[in-house]
Amino acid sequence: MNIIYNEKENTIDIKDGLKSQYFMIKALMILNLLNAALNVSYISESGIGFMQIIWLILGLVSIVVLYFFIFKKSSQEKIDTKTIVSLTEKKVFGAKRLSLQLTNGKHRDLAYLKSSEEIIKVKKMLSKLGISA
């Protein structure tokens, strides 16, 4: 993962491939939602069956995941430093996860920081820019 501060444009450049991963997740959720809609739309003479209920639940889960990835997550690769509110740190299964909270309410995950040295380096860089942790 490369996180570089561009002084000329006053941006942070993040190269981690998260944009393509989020695109694939969104595409699969849309495909899953279309499949669920087709399967739920078929109602037999006996009424709604077990499979229609399963597909309805899968469709609702797909809608929730799509909402989350469209409105709450960001995959920007160039982030203007003025749009960063703070650096958020969470512990997930004992590992530290960092994300940038943006002014539009979205979060940009920094998912591929492998070692504690990389985390410290990113924290130092952002603190020099005036972004609080």
Tens of pLDDT along 28-85? 999 999 999 998 887 766 778 888 899 999 999 999 999 999 999 999 999 998 999 9
pLDDT of residue 44: 67
Cβ atoms of residues 84 and 90 within 8 Å: no
Query: Is the sign of the CA dihedral 23, 25, 28, 34 positive or negative?
Result: negative
Cβ atoms of residues 94 and 80 within 8 Å: no
- Confidence category of residue 1, pLDDT binned at 50, 70, 90: low
Q: What does the pLDDT look like over 94-133, one tens digit per residue?
A: 877 889 999 999 999 988 887 788 888 888 888 888 887 6
| Domains, the chain, ordered by start | 2-128 (2.30.29)
Cβ atoms of residues 79 and 12 within 8 Å: yes
pLDDT of residue 43: 73
Which residues, other chains included, contact 133 with Cβ-Cβ below 8 Å and sequence gap of 6+?
86, 87, 89, 123, 126, 127
Residue 108 CA to its chain's centroid (Å): 7
CB atoms within 10 A of CB 2: 8
Show the tokens assigned to 76: 């920007």
Show the tokens assigned to 104: 């539009």
